[in-house]
Amino acid sequence: PADMGDDLERVLLSEEQLGARLDEIAAQIDADYAGRDLLLVGVLKGAVMVMADLSRRLHSSVEMDWMAVSSYGAGTTSSGVVRILKDLDADLTGRDVLIVEDIIDSGLTLSWLLANLRSRGPASVEIATMLRKPEAAKVEVDVRYVGFDIPTDFVVGYGLDYAEKYRNLPFVGTLAPHVYGD
Ligand code: PRP
Ligand code: MN
Ligand code: MG
């Protein structure tokens, strides 16, 4: 296959920058949840990288569960329609839950997910996201841990896809215009 690097315009956040920020967030989570049993809920598929890298930086043992929801399909803009493709295995009753996401764009996915998980009787539900696009917000979502606020450019890598590709880039970058196909 062709080198993914040929499809990129520029690197927005390097692997080193992402890792350094995750060190800080993991230390905050360790402090905030000291002495409690934490359940990390990763949102497939985009959150796979941040879930793996964040969880490995925590000093206490956590449980991990996964939910698959989709609002984007193959396009580059949010439809606002959220579907559950795979539900959690865990019972959330009385649990301290931390949702782990790659990016908050319009906020529609997470605001829906927050309401859904809060209806299941957890002790607490908070959010950790690697990226957030403040200028793209259609709904405000109260987020406890944010890696980086970024501009509204379409970004890929570190779990984020364009038509299911580029998720395996170890950094976050913007796509070159020729990739959008014209
Ligand atoms: C992307 C991303 C977030 C969501 C953010 O997921 O991973 O989950 O969109 O967008 P929003 O704030 O506008 O709702 P997507 O639906 O593309 O599924 P994926 O994680 O499988 O790529
Ligand atoms: Mn996602
Ligand atoms: Mg996607």
How far, in Å, is the centroid of ligand 3 from the Cα of 162? 7
pLDDT surpassing 70 at residue 116: yes
Residues with CB under 6 A from ligand 1: 43-46, 70-72, 78, 101-109, 161
Question: 160 and 50 in contact (C-beta within 8 Å)?
Answer: no
Predicted confidence (pLDDT) per residue in 80-102, tens digit: 678 899 999 999 999 999 999 99
Mean pLDDT of 142-154: 96
pLDDT of residue 177: 85
Q: Where along the chain do its domains lie?
A: 17-69+82-152
Architecture of domain 17-69+82-152: 3-Layer(aba) Sandwich (3.40)
Determine the pLDDT at residue 16. 98
% pLDDT > 90, the chain:
85
- The reply to whether 105 belongs to the active site is yes
* C-alpha 64 to ligand 2 mean position (Å): 16
The pLDDT assigned to 3 comes to: 85
| pLDDT score for 46 | 96
Cβ proximity of 19 and 73 under 8 Å: no
Output the pLDDT for position 164: 95
**Which strands, in side-by-side order, build the sheet including 172-175?**
8-13, 172-175, 155-156
ipTM score = 0.98
Q: How far is CA 28 from CA 15, 20, 22, 86, 162, in A?
A: 20, 13, 10, 29, 31
Max Cα distance, the chain (Å): 54
The DSSP 8-state label assigned to residue 136 in this structure reads G
CA of 43 to the centre of ligand 2 (A): 6
Residue 178 has what pLDDT?
87
> Looking at residues 104-116, what average pLDDT do you find?
94
> Facing residues of 129 across strands?
101, 146
* Structure confidence at residue 166 (pLDDT): 97
b/e map 76-86, b = 16+ CB within 10 Å: eebeeebeeee
**Active-site pick, 23, 37, 105, 161:** 105
- pTM for the whole structure: 0.94
